[in-house]
Chain A
Amino acid sequence: MNILVCISSVPDTTSKINFTENNTKFDKNGIQFVINPYDEFGLTKAIMLKEKLQANVSVITVGDASVEPVMRKALAIGADKAVRINMQPMDSFSTANEIASYVKQNKYDIIIAGKESSDYNSGAVPGIISEILDIPFVNACNGLNIEGEEINLSREIDGGIEKIQTKIPLIIGGQKGLVEESELKIPNMRGIMTARTKPLEVIEATTTNHLTESIEFEKPSVKGECKMIDENNISELVNELQNVTKVI
């Protein structure tokens, strides 16, 4: 079984977000990059499947050379091979198109992406890949079980969970629940050493179009002062919410 995990290199979740070049570009200065948290759940699941079913696990990223440390981390965690498509991601469509082109030439049974990236949050890449490749898509996936030919999955829906059965090849948009937070793997020294010798292939982009264009960024407006209310005067809070800000 061949598994492809799509990985995005994103700012660490504690990062303060700033922009540069007249607010048109994300300011990478001083930012620590990590594997997108949603992708990390998927990567860990893939490594577990590798151990259970002797699957091969590749990771793929669309980006310039600056994403390679994150790819090496994925190799250190246990992926067998990494592929970088050398292109500055422009939008979900172009990123998905590049990954889909790679999959068309290399057979994969399960493609695992995160349900979204924690930077641009479009949540569109796996869905677009599924349509281009015409394969089943299970989004917000929080459970994946393979027993022989049978693939059982679960996904989050509004207020609940849906159980799904489908066939390979398929693509999922993963999240917590695929594995638990406590199951996430921290690379050990042996993993880090072997990662250095594992293949990291660089492929040139097929120069696809992008359909949307980022213009600029702004930060949400800063809130006013917090009004402190005495814990023995709760009726004041209720009065404020009911009659001043009118939210209840």
Chain B
Amino acid sequence: MSITVYTENWEGKFRKSTFEAVCYAKKIADISNKEVKAISIGEIDENELKKLSNFGANTIVSYPKIKKNNEKGVATIIKNESENSNLIIFSNTFNAKSIAPRVSVKLNAGLITNVISEINDLENISVKRQSFSSKAIESIRLKSNCGVITISPNAFNVTENVVSFNIEVKANELDSNISITGKDVNKGKISLSEAEVVVSAGRGLKGPENWNMIEELADCLGAATACSKPVSDIGWRPHSEHVGQTGKAIAPNLYIAIGISGAIQHLAGVNSSKIMVAINTDPEAPFFKAADYGIVGDAFNVVPKLIDELKKINNN
């Protein structure tokens, strides 16, 4: 018996969220005396696949001829590979959100998404998950024999756990019911949902031309950039950067909010961040009630100083 984990890659490279999912699976596998079986989809080289064994994957099955955006096909593969498994783990990415529901139907398995707690008993699975746009945490129990779980990115640690492993490469091909006609990916950017540090700005920035300093600050911190809803609504920044209740929910280690007042809808999407810093001219801004650190001041004055300070450390 094994725990199955979908190990997503991006252009042949795994990301931290992939290893988080493997580590999560390994923890349950250890307490229930099972093995971890990783399923990789799409072209990838063997050295990259081997990395999965550093975090506990004993069996690594690779399907290089299937593309990950053929979610219907990927779901079929995962179902077929899960005959000896009653738990399938995903990291909660865009790709996983299109695959996991399909797998749950194929296996008649309950699906629990946005999971933020570990599983202590494989026979009686209950976990905590984010709900109400992070305004609440729900405890939820699995009623079916088999379960599909998607874990929140950045909610679990990645710890090395080197195991012996074997790699099987399978040449299966499967048709897709959608065809991809184009793709536009901003390669240099850090993925917002996985970023450990996020620098975010709101209407206090006064105009899109002032985002240079936000991007410079983000560069100093190796951070992703985000924005508030009004900023995305007026088109200063792309929708994909909108964090908050109707945008993305994120959980970085550090969230820096610049010129964002902190409306309840915004806080809902970011209050899972471990540390929050608010920079705002208005001392009454609600964000100061939610933040760990606050600076009352003008972004145009504070941000350049912050960049200077960070550059000093980076240079040392």
List residues of A whose CB falls within 8 A of some B CB. Answer: 11, 13-14, 16-17, 19, 26, 37-38, 91-93, 96, 115, 118-128, 130-132, 135-140, 142, 152, 155-166, 173, 175-177, 180-182, 209-220, 223-224, 226-231, 234-235, 237-238, 240-242, 245, 247-248
Render B96-111 as a binary contact track against A, CB cut-off 8 A, 1 for contact: 0110111011101111
B97 and A158: CB pair below 8 A?
Answer: no
Contacts of B313 in A (CB 8 A): 238, 242
B239 and A212: CB pair below 8 A?
Answer: no
Contacts of A158 in B (CB 8 A): 10, 93-95, 185, 191, 193
B292 and A237: CB pair below 8 A?
Answer: no
Whether, in the assembled complex, B186 has its beta carbon less than 8 Å from a beta carbon of chain A, the answer is yes
Q: A164-B178, A176-B242 are in contact. Are A231 and B302 (CB under 8 A)?
A: yes
- Alpha-carbon separation in the docked complex, A19 to B293 (Å): 30
Considering only residues 110-136 of chain B, those with a C-beta below 8 Å from chain A are: 110-114, 126, 130-136
Contacts of B82 in A (CB 8 A): none
Give chain A nearest CB distance to B291 CB in angstroms: 5
Whether, in the assembled complex, B184 has its beta carbon less than 8 Å from a beta carbon of chain A, the answer is yes
Whether, in the assembled complex, B177 has its beta carbon less than 8 Å from a beta carbon of chain A, the answer is yes
Residue of A nearest to B244 (CB): A13
Residue of B nearest to A166 (CB): B178
B293 and A211: CB pair below 8 A?
Answer: no
Query: Closest 3 interchain pairs by CB?
Result: A127-B101, A231-B297, A211-B110
Instruction: List the one stretch of B44-52, B159-167, B268-276 in contact with chain A.
Output: B268-276
- Alpha-carbon separation in the docked complex, A245 to B192 (Å): 21
- Choose among A37, A216, A217, A228 the residue that contacts B294 (Cβ–Cβ < 8 A): A228
Whether, in the assembled complex, B86 has its beta carbon less than 8 Å from a beta carbon of chain A, the answer is no
B104 and A93: CB pair below 8 A?
Answer: yes
Instruction: List the one stretch of B28-36, B140-148, B204-212 in contact with chain A.
Output: B140-148
List residues of B whose CB falls within 8 A of some A CB. Answer: 10, 69, 71-72, 75, 93-95, 97-98, 100-102, 104-106, 108-114, 126, 130-144, 177-187, 189, 191-193, 196-197, 221, 232-233, 239-240, 242, 245-247, 249, 253-254, 263-265, 268, 271-272, 274-278, 288-298, 301-302, 305-306, 308-310, 313
Task: Tell me whether chain A's interface is mostly helix, strand or loop, or mixed.
Answer: mixed
A212 and B141: CB pair below 8 A?
Answer: yes
- Alpha-carbon separation in the docked complex, A238 to B274 (Å): 16
- Alpha-carbon separation in the docked complex, A152 to B182 (Å): 11
Contacts of A142 in B (CB 8 A): 239
Give chain A nearest CB distance to B249 CB in angstroms: 8
Give chain A nearest CB distance to B95 CB in angstroms: 7
Contacts of A118 in B (CB 8 A): 132-133, 245-246
Residue of B nearest to A175 (CB): B239
A19 and B136: CB pair below 8 A?
Answer: yes
- Choose among A213, A228, A234, A241 the residue that contacts B305 (Cβ–Cβ < 8 A): A234
A122 and B113: CB pair below 8 A?
Answer: yes
A226 and B104: CB pair below 8 A?
Answer: no
Give chain A nearest CB distance to B128 CB in angstroms: 8
B108 and A211: CB pair below 8 A?
Answer: yes
- Alpha-carbon separation in the docked complex, A243 to B232 (Å): 34
- Alpha-carbon separation in the docked complex, A115 to B130 (Å): 16
Give chain B nearest CB distance to A132 CB in angstroms: 6
Q: A124-B111, A159-B186, A212-B111 are in contact. Are A223 and B292 (CB under 8 A)?
A: yes
Contacts of B93 in A (CB 8 A): 158
- Alpha-carbon separation in the docked complex, A96 to B240 (Å): 27
A165 and B290: CB pair below 8 A?
Answer: no
Residue of A nearest to B189 (CB): A159
A162 and B69: CB pair below 8 A?
Answer: yes
Q: A157-B94, A159-B185 are in contact. Are A121 and B114 (CB under 8 A)?
A: yes
A128 and B309: CB pair below 8 A?
Answer: no
Contacts of B249 in A (CB 8 A): 121
B102 and A227: CB pair below 8 A?
Answer: no
Q: A217-B139, A234-B309, A238-B306 are in contact. Are A124 and B104 (CB under 8 A)?
A: yes
- Alpha-carbon separation in the docked complex, A92 to B110 (Å): 9
Question: Could you write out 23 A-B pairs with CB less than 8 Å apart?
Answer: A14-B264, A118-B132, A118-B245, A118-B246, A121-B113, A126-B101, A127-B102, A128-B102, A130-B102, A136-B178, A159-B240, A160-B240, A161-B183, A161-B185, A164-B178, A164-B179, A181-B233, A209-B143, A212-B110, A213-B141, A231-B301, A245-B274, A245-B275
- Alpha-carbon separation in the docked complex, A180 to B232 (Å): 10
- Choose among B182, B191, B246, B295 the residue that contacts A237 (Cβ–Cβ < 8 A): B295
